[in-house]
């Protein structure tokens, strides 16, 4: 009881600061409502902590308060970033940044405030004239020779959320040492009076179509099978942006590649931060694809694709052996795209042994089998495309990047952008379907060939959501319990190896030997590998109030006829794993 009393005193004192003259009238009125309410839950949630500027920037529920996304938390983040840029690039006569945003409620407002603050600090801000895909912001930073960039987006989070992603001069989201340095500068902004909100319009330049054209031209340069597209240009492709930014460029990119029958879902072509036709604007969620699948059934489409609200993730649906439309998971999308890119490069005699691909540690190990088959180097990195971008940067001018992806429906086919890109991924996915048709195959048969050649795997993700302060504490307790009492066996097979990325220790549980892992930093991730090659990864989400479990099991598939049996056996094994982990 005493702890609750002290917490209420603390949040009340913090909230009362927001009644000061430095805050606008609307904000003050909302804070007063929270203070006056009998139920103090909303007050506590809004002020019990400061919305942290973490290594990926900000992300949170929109509203008043220090723990919410609003003009003041966005303002403090931008002022801190501006201060650091002026320190890091003190020798430059003119520092410049790109500012972009998605379709979410308040995104344009926040983006304009960000541009104003940069401009008031003497930094030139290139501000997009309207919403754009996240990867285009990454491209624009490099294309315009800027030192940094900010994108206002919460990706595929629920509509209540918004976010703030900070990028560095290479077009990638920030990593060490800049992440810690920026966080330090943001934390030094102690009051609203330190934020320069009054913009200098002479330091703001609006950009738009010229960047679109350059970006689309670069993506067209990735094309590997133009002749196959010509032969199958009228392949029926259903595409939906799920109310997001993909509507701007993805249909145009598909047309640039040569596809002539792109079928829309008109209701979802409408950009809207309320995402009115879906429960969740996330292509990972089957219901988000329901309208596109209905349209595909109506027209007899060959392929169904979607992008999430900021068009960095791709969803894809193919037909199974019964002709039904089924979702590919993120691992399968990455496998198909990498296998296609590598195979075409080999067919075109472009492989010289100096190529590489990148995947994240929670993504399927089947990709390792694919790269081994072709003798191509594979890098494993942490979850998040900033780590894939770091590998690309380290190999710049040394080796050729062929592609990289993660199980959460993200893929990057190019190195001229440094964040996952649904614009290029959708275009290449359609081209891969045309190439498969040239070989007398559909996508399912293409996927089956990958499994026959490289071994069958089946993946499943489980997210356990825990909201608010108590939820965050419960997630921490779950990770602590897994570390202190790791499972001895999972799914009927002994745990043979435990990797703890918080300590970088890899423990062989059979002989007790502990070795150190070579990773750029630590991360709150645990992995368990069993004797039958089952892999389980556990990590708290960095952007949402949930703990994530990634399950991968292996199976046997010698011919296409084994496919359904392999799936059923793997699904049974996955259910056993879930029960053993207590998440069934």
- The CA-based angle 479-480-486, given to 5 degrees, is 85
Instruction: Report the distance separating Cα 527 and Cα 500, nearest Å.
Output: 7
Residue 329 token pair: 């998971």
Active-site pick, 155, 424, 427, 523: 155
What is the DSSP code string of 82-137? HHHHHHHTTT-S--EEEEEE-SSTTHHHHHHHHHHHHHHTT-EEEEESS---HHHH
Instruction: Report the distance separating Cα 371 and Cα 575, nearest Å.
Output: 29
Give the C-alpha distances (Å, rounded to integers) separating 121 from 47, 99, 179: 28, 15, 20
Instruction: Report the distance separating Cα 572 and Cα 492, nearest Å.
Output: 12
DSSP-based three-state secondary structure for 235: coil
Burial 472-497 (b: 16+ CB within 10 A, else e): eeebeebbeebeeeebeebbebebbb
Instruction: Report the distance separating Cα 6 and Cα 146, nearest Å.
Output: 46
Q: Is 572 tagged catalytic?
A: no
Q: Is-contact 72 27, C-beta < 8 A? A: yes
Residue 497 bridge partners (DSSP): 508, 529
Instruction: Report the distance separating Cα 168 and Cα 521, nearest Å.
Output: 18
Half-sphere exposure of 311 (CA within 13 A, CB side): 31
Question: Looking at the annotation, which residues are catalytic?
Answer: 155
């Amino acid at each position: 009881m005493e702890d609750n009393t002290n917490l209420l005193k603390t949040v009340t004192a913090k909230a009362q600061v927001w009644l000061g003259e430095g805050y606008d009238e609307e904000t003050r009125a909302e804070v007063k409502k929270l203070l006056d309410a009998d139920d103090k839950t909303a007050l506590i949630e809004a002020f019990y902590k400061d919305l942290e500027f973490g290594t990926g920037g900000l992300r949170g529920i929109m509203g008043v308060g220090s723990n919410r996304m609003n003009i003041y938390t966005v303002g403090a983040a931008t002022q801190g970033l501006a201060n650091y840029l002026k320190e890091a690039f003190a020798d430059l006569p003119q520092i410049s940044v790109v500012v972009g945003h998605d379709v979410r409620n308040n995104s344009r407002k926040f983006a304009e405030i960000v541009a104003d603050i940069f401009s008031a600090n003497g930094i030139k801000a290139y501000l997009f004239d309207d919403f754009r895909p996240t990867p285009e912001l990454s491209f624009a930073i490099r294309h315009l020779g800027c030192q940094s960039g900010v994108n206002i987006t919460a990706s595929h989070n629920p509509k209540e959320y918004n976010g703030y992603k900070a990028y560095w001069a290479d077009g990638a989201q920030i990593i060490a040492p800049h992440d810690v340095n920026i966080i330090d500068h943001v934390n030094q902004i102690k009051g609203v009076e330190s934020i320069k909100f009054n913009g200098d319009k002479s330091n703001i330049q609006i950009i738009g179509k010229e960047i679109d054209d350059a970006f689309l031209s670069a993506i067209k340069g990735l094309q590997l099978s133009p002749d196959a597209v010509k032969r199958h240009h009228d392949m029926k492709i259903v595409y939906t942006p799920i109310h997001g930014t993909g509507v701007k460029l993805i249909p145009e990119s598909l047309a640039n590649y040569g596809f002539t029958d792109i079928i829309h879902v008109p209701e979802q072509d409408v950009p809207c931060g309320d995402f009115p036709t879906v429960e969740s604007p996330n292509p990972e969620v089957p219901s988000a694809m329901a309208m596109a699948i209905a349209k595909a059934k109506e027209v007899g489409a060959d392929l169904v694709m979607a992008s999430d609200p900021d068009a960095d993730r791709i969803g894809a649906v193919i037909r199974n052996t019964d002709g039904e439309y089924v979702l590919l998971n993120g691992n399968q999308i990455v496998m198909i795209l990498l296998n296609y890119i590598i195979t075409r490069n080999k067919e075109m005699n472009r492989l010289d042994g100096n190529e590489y691909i990148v995947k994240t540690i929670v993504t399927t190990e089947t990709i390792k089998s694919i790269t081994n088959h072709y003798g191509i180097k594979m890098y494993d990195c942490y979850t998040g495309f900033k780590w894939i971008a770091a590998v690309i940067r380290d190999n710049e001018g040394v080796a050729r990047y062929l592609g990289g992806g993660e199980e959460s429906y993200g893929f990057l086919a190019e190195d001229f952008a440094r964040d996952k890109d649904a614009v290029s991924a959708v275009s290449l996915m359609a081209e891969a379907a045309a190439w498969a048709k040239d070989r007398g195959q559909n996508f399912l048969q293409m996927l089956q060939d990958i499994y026959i050649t490289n071994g069958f795997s089946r993946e499943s993700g489980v997210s356990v959501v825990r909201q608010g302060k108590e939820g965050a504490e419960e997630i921490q307790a779950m990770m602590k319990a897994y570390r202190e009492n790791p499972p001895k066996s999972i799914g009927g097979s002994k745990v043979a190896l435990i990797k703890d990325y918080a300590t970088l220790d890899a423990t062989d549980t059979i002989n007790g030997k502990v070795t150190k892992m070579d990773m750029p930093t630590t991360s709150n991730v645990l992995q368990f590998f069993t004797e039958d090659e089952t892999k389980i990864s556990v990590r708290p989400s960095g952007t949402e109030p949930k703990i994530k479990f990634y399950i991968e099991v292996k199976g046997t598939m010698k011919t296409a006829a084994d496919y359904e049996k392999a799936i059923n056996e793997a699904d049974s094994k996955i259910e056993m794993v879930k029960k053993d982990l207590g998440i069934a």
